Amino acid sequence: MRRFLCLLLLLGIATPAFAQMRAPAREPVRVIDRAITRTGKTLTLSVHYPVTGRTVMDRLFTDYARARIAEVGEPPSGQSRGVPYTLDLSYRITRNDARFFAVLFSAQTYTGGAHGSHFQESFVFLMPGERRVFLPELVDGARGLEKISRLARDTLRARLLRGAGPMTDANWIAQGTAPGALAVTPFDWTADALVLHFGEYAVAAYAAGRQDVRIPLSAIADVIRPDPAAPAPSFACAKAANAIERALCADARLARWDWQVAWAYARQRAVVPDPKAGAALLAQQRAFLKARDTACADGNAACLTKAYQRRLAALEPSP
């Protein structure tokens, strides 16, 4: 997944003016279902993904489906015991209008063990430019994610901590709804609500199942960015004080690298086992920032990109 996210950052980002998103209603994107199926002794596939005729979106959907197939693989020779590995990948279109096109994928896999796994991935695009956007770009950075975090946390605590024998606790929910976790949580961005999709183990035990939280857009109206296509680094651009910060605030690609590294670091800090490990992680992050500031003092985009790529790989290495 880490490699897939990095690929998204490198594909190139179209930047249509936000005013274009308010153009008169047009015909929604036409979707054709593409299926890959296989039934065998070692591997069973039922993979579906949309084909839209839009180059950027179709490339992402195809790559995503192929990546999921590659992850499942097949049982090692002689170890299948008559039970094939399985992948069931489905999707639903969660929005399709003049402003956004959005898809939510759901994957069920079995590769041995007591039970299978389920995970989701959301793709939300600004239209008509086909630029994929993420939650930290739709809302006002840390301020927006922190507000959403509070709302999601309160909703889940009220839902999951009631009655005898809860399958979670307040700390588990707080960790799963922390701003850094929300930055990579699958979501729907409908015309009137943000819907967060928390997988098994994200906020509670497996037996509690997946948890969805619906937050009306009216409840977060004060933190919704008027122009999601504008660069959205991890800091307020009004306070940009040097060439590096100005470069991050001028380039949507660089801004995305910046917030991905910032929230990846936040996720790691949330799960470090003890203060000593936390101090070591903080020292590493400070060393990264110092090295970035020294090597890329003039705000060179190529230099910054390489620095962020290396740091992101260190924070969230590929399996």
pTM over 0.75: yes
CA–CA separation, 179 and 206 (whole Å): 22
5 or 128, higher pLDDT? 128
228 or 319, higher pLDDT? 228
Question: Is residue 102 over pLDDT 60?
Answer: yes
Question: Is residue 132 over pLDDT 90?
Answer: yes
- CA-nearest of 173, 167, 169 to 154 is 173
**pLDDT tens digits, 46-57:** 999 999 999 999
Q: What is the mean pLDDT of residues 203-228?
A: 93
* The residue to which tokens 């990546």 are assigned: 67
**pLDDT tens digits, 117-126:** 899 999 999 9
- CA-nearest of 5, 287, 266 to 122 is 5
Contact partners, residue 166, CB within 8 Å, separation at least 6: 160
Q: What is the mean pLDDT of residues 251-258?
A: 95
Which residue type sits at 114?
Answer: A
Question: Is residue 270 over pLDDT 60?
Answer: yes
- Predicted confidence band at 163 (pLDDT cuts at 50, 70, 90)? low
Whether residue 226 contacts residue 149, with contact meaning beta carbons closer than 8 Å, is answered with no
The pLDDT assigned to 26 comes to 55
The pLDDT assigned to 4 comes to 45
Rg (CA), the chain: 21
Question: Is residue 152 over pLDDT 50?
Answer: yes
CA–CA separation, 220 and 197 (whole Å): 17
CA–CA separation, 89 and 118 (whole Å): 10
- Predicted confidence band at 99 (pLDDT cuts at 50, 70, 90)? very high
Work out the number of other CB atoms within 10 angstroms of the CB of residue 137.
Answer: 25
Q: What is the mean pLDDT of residues 270-285?
A: 90
Residue 95 phi, psi (nearest 5) = -160, 140
The pLDDT assigned to 24 comes to 40
The pLDDT assigned to 178 comes to 93
The pLDDT assigned to 213 comes to 97
Q: How far is CA 269 from the centre of its chain?
A: 18
Q: What is the mean pLDDT of residues 196-203?
A: 92
Question: Is residue 299 over pLDDT 90?
Answer: yes
CA–CA separation, 209 and 155 (whole Å): 16
- Predicted confidence band at 316 (pLDDT cuts at 50, 70, 90)? confident
- The length of the chain is 319
271 or 25, higher pLDDT? 271
Question: Is residue 206 over pLDDT 90?
Answer: no
129 or 15, higher pLDDT? 129
**pLDDT tens digits, 59-76:** 999 999 999 999 988 777
**pLDDT tens digits, 4-43:** 444 444 334 333 333 333 444 456 899 999 999 999 888 8
Contact partners, residue 142, CB within 8 Å, separation at least 6: 179, 234
Q: State the chain's mean pLDDT as an integer.
A: 88
Question: Is residue 149 over pLDDT 90?
Answer: yes
Question: Is residue 200 over pLDDT 70?
Answer: yes
The pLDDT assigned to 76 comes to 76
CA–CA separation, 224 and 120 (whole Å): 24
